[in-house]
Amino acid sequence: MEALLLLFLSGMISMAASMFGKTQLALAAALMGMVGAIFLMMAPAPLFQFASQYQGISFEGFQIHFSILCIALTALIIWGDSLRLLQDKENGSDTIALYLFSLCGVLILIGFKDLFMFFLGLEIMSIPLYVLAGSDKNSSFSREAAVKYFFTGSFITCFILLGIALIYGATGTFELAEMKQVILEARVNLPMLQVGTIMLAIGFLFKVGAAPFHFWGPDVYQGSPNYITAYMASTIKIAMLFTFYTFFSLLFEPISKTWIPLLQAAILISLFLGYLVALHQTYFKRLLAYSSITHSAFALFSLLCFKESSLQHLFIFTIGYGFSIVGLVSSQVAMRNTEDQIDQIKGKGLQYPLLGLLWVSALFSLTGLPPFTGFFGKTFLFYEAFSHFPALVIAGLISTAIGSYFYLQLIMHAFQQESDQATKTPIPLALQAILLLCICSICGGWLFIFWI
């Protein structure tokens, strides 16, 4: 709770700094606030008594781990985006504030204890994103992304809100603990609960970008500024996956026969649609969007088995996925690939060894090759699901083989020798540091399995 308040205070300072054109102050407040929030999350007990008295939000166990991961990824994103924001004297500070306010919504979504706080966190997270997606005023694609994201997001919010209303009507409570007890004791209006659960599942599948509710992703990812795309593809997706798990694996397990078939169908479609369409992309961020559809499917395997270890495996998977996304977007910024063309990476792995190392690490991790974090996360998820859903796991392995093909193509493209090398421009130190941190996390993030 204290970490959430500190992030909100940092966002208010950033807004105040915008009135005086002090983007440096906003950036410093944001980064210091996020570092402080991580330390507060790791503190063994609340520093202030009032922080432990409010019952609507609490952070314990994996809620702390996922919160720290989301804060760390957002800190890297804002740090990387600072090169652009510091040049924007008019709106740079406001953009930083929007990042922080959206991150507050992310933490509420991770720590909520009742349906009221869940919906409040969802809106606090989403509304700044609509603005951030259209923050590049010089791009018509950015404006299109904002409009499309706003209308589709608002439409799907109606499904979520109606699902919440039906679940409340079926159980008679907003509190998750009470709701779970009511469901376990079968003191519910079952048809109403089933319909509400399906509507909530549709909303979550949209928010995590899984098929067949993925249609907003490619255009929004392509039109948004680089690091805002990274924020949506990493921090936002991870928060929604955790919330999805909280509802369906922890709360709605007794009625799993209602929603498991829907989830299986969404996973199966996503496994192949994402990678097969990604094979034909020429724009990097559209490729990222379609690739993320399949990775949403991999992550959703964690909801199928109802085991305590599933959340641990999801955490390891999201470490590899999140830092790979941030690293790949940072490499695009480092290459100054303003046209977002995949052809622009040709030969860059040889010209810039650090970029080459990042591309190999990130793409091998996304593929699921050892010894990278993505391999351990995906292997654990598949192994756990195999005993109950062998056909779905086999489909996942086939999808992985398809992904291996085009990820390997990208790596070969990055290391292809060009006859006429372009002039080599230095990579800013901030981006070099971000790339190195991402490489370390991709290579060693799986070690957290011995800590959590």
Q: Which residues 6+ apart lie within 8 Å of 146 measured at CB? A: 130, 131, 133, 134, 223
Instruction: Supply 392's token pair.
Output: 């779905």
From the number of C-beta atoms within 10 Å of its C-beta (0-12, 13-18, 19+), residue 53 rates as exposed
Kindly write down the DSSP assignment for every residue of 242-259, as one continuous string: HHHHIIIIIISGGGHHHH
Instruction: Give the start-end residues of each E strand in 330-404.
Output: none
Backbone CA torsion sign across 278, 281, 439, 107: negative
For residue 47, the model assigns a pLDDT of 67
The count of C-alpha atoms lying within 13 angstroms of the C-alpha of 228, restricted to the half-sphere facing its C-beta, is 28
For residue 59, the model assigns a pLDDT of 86
Does the N-terminal peptide bond of residue 353 adopt cis geometry, omega within 30 degrees of 0?
no
**Full pLDDT tens readout for the chain, 452 residues:** 788 989 999 999 998 888 887 889 999 999 999 999 999 888 776 666 655 666 778 888 889 999 999 999 999 999 998 888 888 777 888 999 999 999 999 999 999 988 999 999 999 999 999 999 988 877 888 888 889 999 998 889 999 999 999 999 999 888 888 888 888 888 888 889 999 999 999 999 999 999 888 888 888 998 899 999 999 999 999 999 999 999 998 888 888 888 999 999 999 999 999 898 888 888 888 999 999 999 999 999 999 888 878 899 999 999 999 999 999 999 988 887 777 788 888 878 888 889 999 999 999 999 989 889 999 999 999 999 998 899 999 999 999 999 898 898 888 888 887 655 556 778 888 899 999 999 999 998 888 777 76
Closest CA to 268 of 211, 324, 201, 351: 211
Instruction: Supply 138's token pair.
Output: 């010089």
CA distance 402 to 224: 27
Instruction: Supply 141's token pair.
Output: 């694609």
* DSSP bridge pairs for 122: none
CA distance 413 to 420: 15
Closest CA to 243 of 7, 63, 449, 57: 63
* Alpha-helical segments (H) within 43-171: 62-85, 92-111, 115-133, 140-171
Kindly write down the DSSP assignment for every residue of 267-300, as one continuous string: HHHHHHHHHHHHTT--BHHHHHHHHHHHHHHHHH
| Phi, psi (rounded to 5 degrees) for 283 | -100, 135
Q: Residue 61: left (phi > 0), alpha (psi -120 to 50), or beta?
A: left
Instruction: Supply 233's token pair.
Output: 């593809």
For residue 105, the model assigns a pLDDT of 94
* 156, 213 contact by CB (below 8 A): yes
CA distance 4 to 9: 9
Residue 300, CA distances (Å) to 153, 211, 242, 248, 390 in order: 21, 12, 10, 11, 15
* 361, 371 contact by CB (below 8 A): no
CA distance 445 to 251: 29
Would you tell me how many other CB atoms lie within 10 Å of the CB of residue 22?
Answer: 18
